[in-house]
Chains A and B, each alone.
Chain A
Amino acid sequence: MDLKHAVGHFQYSEGKMHLIKFNSDDEILGLRDDGRISDLLLKELRWPQYREKLINANIVLVKKAVAESVNTDTHIIQSINAVAELDKVCNTLVKRIREWYGYYYPELEHELLDNELFIKKILQETKSADMIAHNRMISMGPEIDHKDLDMIIGFARQVDDLYAERERLITYIDNTMMIYMPNVYSLTGGLIGAKLLEKAKSLRHMAFLPSSTIQLLGAEKALFRHLRNKKIRPPKHGLILSHPMVMDAKRTDRGAAARMFAAKISIAARVDYFHGEFIGDRLREELEKQLR
């Protein structure tokens, strides 16, 4: 049911706007033909008898539109945000486990700096086995009751699951990006491409962005600082800095590398949005030639 059935229907012919009134069976009830049709219709719709129809028809239209607005962009953006949140959460929880486990076996906690490896290790090996492996005779941590140790290990198991979930999400993002935005994917990879998409809110928007914007997505704080005070130097790169193409360039070449990279990414985004042929390889070649 749409507003056409609720009220009437515009038709434009012979240089004039006509209002054709329908009933719910699409039967034409009457024809109106005025020069100022829009004004008259606007005033007529103000009448109380149309009030409920206007509300209900609009609610139905909006519900359909909202449902239709969910697409692949949505899932990629949500999953990349989930990865960022998992990073934060895992970091916080591992810090807690480090402190707690550290009272039991500080030597191991001190030795393993990488959070993920630390968690995996305490789930795999017992303290006594590890002490033998390291030829340690004494530890600064006491033996503790198994019910206390169970709590620490149980908590660590949850975090290990969260790390696994993070991997699952990253694989999902990679696979989705490869299919949804193959050209951008071939230039940036899954993660950075998805982060760019998240900043751009949708592939459509990203395709229409100038490459200078893509170059600086992620450096908004620095960008606006510069815009407010031109004496402050503008940023050279945003998210794309973390890509080897920019990161590995000589410091003096970073700006040029970022600019050229962003230019190719924006072309790739356009090809992806308009479903063009795959040109990712060609773009990569041109880019590598330029960077010599």
Chain B
Amino acid sequence: MPNITQFKHFKGVYEIKVGSRSVLLTKNLLPGKVVYGESLYYDKDEQGNKVEYREWVPKRSKLGAALMKDVSQIGMKENDYVLYLGCSTGTTVSHVSDIIGPNGLVFALDFAPRVLRDMVFVAEDRKNIAPILADANKPETYSYLISEVDTVFMDIAQKQQAEIFIKNCKAFLKPGGFGLLAVKARSVDVTKNPKDVFRDIRAKLERELVVVDYRELAPFEMDHAFFVVKKKL
């Protein structure tokens, strides 16, 4: 009986029970390589070959935290193209890269050269990531560097988060595709009550997109929320 099973209905995401807690995993695209100090787990497939999985740490990854908080949809699956805004050094991107597999593609965008530099090493290893140095607030500066995508994921701590997210979904997300937005209440307005900030963001999103899920990410992140939206067909 295998200890590692698919995580709920999410193809490409796995879990293993370690004692009483559940550990989230993705199948390692590069067996043997660890990206941010995460643990490795092993299992055997039907042919008896060893399969390697990487731990997905929800405290380090908002997408992982959203999954642990029962989000209903993450949009991405094998062979998908994903636009990842705010990729930083690539911790969450590595899991997206695992999920989409060798034929998918993540456009990993960030504004800061210093962190993108680390991301380039991850990209060169995995060969399904295209790093981009650009300002997500100006899609016209990178629209010629990317294609249409199946999923948009954004984790950028800025006051204009919602506007930037909507702009990018309108420009690059395929009709019927899912958009994922991680919101840090303190970046939008440090003085406001987080619940008010999230309510305002939701209202902005509902004007242009269909909000299909909303999760608060405590205890993995404080004063953070996660929105899942769908672009109309």
Using CB atoms and an 8 Å cutoff, list the residues of chain A in contact with chain B. 3, 10, 38, 41-46, 48, 50-51, 54-55, 57-59, 61-63, 65-66, 69, 224, 227-228
Cβ A62 vs Cβ B105 within 8 A: no
Residues of B contacting A54 with CB < 8 Å? 105, 130, 145-147
The answer, yes or no, to whether B143 is at the interface (CB within 8 Å) is: yes
The answer, yes or no, to whether B117 is at the interface (CB within 8 Å) is: yes
Cβ A61 vs Cβ B133 within 8 A: yes
Contact with A along B135-176 (1 / 0, CB 8 A): 000000001111111000000000000000000000010000
Q: Which of A42, A59, A66, A69 contacts B148 (CB 8 A)?
A: A42
User: If A59-B123, A62-B116, A69-B113 touch, does A38 touch B105 (CB 8 Å cutoff)?
Assistant: no
Q: Which of A51, A59, A61 contacts B105 (CB 8 A)?
A: A51
User: If A48-B103, A228-B191 touch, does A62 touch B133 (CB 8 Å cutoff)?
Assistant: yes
Q: Number of residues in B with C-beta < 8 Å to the partner?
A: 28
The answer, yes or no, to whether B51 is at the interface (CB within 8 Å) is: no
Cβ B131 vs Cβ A42 within 8 A: no
Q: Which of A10, A42, A66, A227 contacts B120 (CB 8 A)?
A: A66
Residues of A contacting B145 with CB < 8 Å? 3, 54, 57-58, 61
A-B contact pairs, 14 of them (CB 8 A): A41-B144, A42-B148, A46-B147, A46-B148, A58-B107, A58-B130, A58-B145, A59-B124, A61-B133, A62-B116, A62-B132, A62-B133, A63-B120, A224-B190
Q: Report the minimal beta-carbon distance from B173 to chain A, rounded to whole angstroms.
A: 10
Residues of A contacting B113 with CB < 8 Å? 65-66, 69
Cβ B143 vs Cβ A43 within 8 A: no
Cβ A66 vs Cβ B116 within 8 A: yes
Main secondary structure of the interface of B (DSSP, over half): mixed
Q: Which of B127, B147, B190 contacts A45 (CB 8 A)?
A: B147
Cβ B133 vs Cβ A55 within 8 A: no
Known: A44-B147, A57-B145, A63-B120. 7 other contacts (CB 8 A): A45-B146, A45-B147, A45-B148, A46-B81, A54-B105, A55-B123, A62-B133
Q: Report the minimal beta-carbon distance from A119 to chain B, rounded to whole angstroms.
A: 35
How distant is the Cα of A44 from the Cα of B190 in the complex, in angstroms? 42
B106 closest partner in A (C-beta): A55
Q: Report the minimal beta-carbon distance from B106 to chain A, rounded to whole angstroms.
A: 10
Residues of B contacting A63 with CB < 8 Å? 120
User: If A46-B148, A66-B117 touch, does A38 touch B143 (CB 8 Å cutoff)?
Assistant: yes
The answer, yes or no, to whether B129 is at the interface (CB within 8 Å) is: yes
User: If A54-B105, A227-B190 touch, does A62 touch B131 (CB 8 Å cutoff)?
Assistant: yes
Q: Report the minimal beta-carbon distance from A110 to chain B, rounded to whole angstroms.
A: 46
The answer, yes or no, to whether B89 is at the interface (CB within 8 Å) is: no
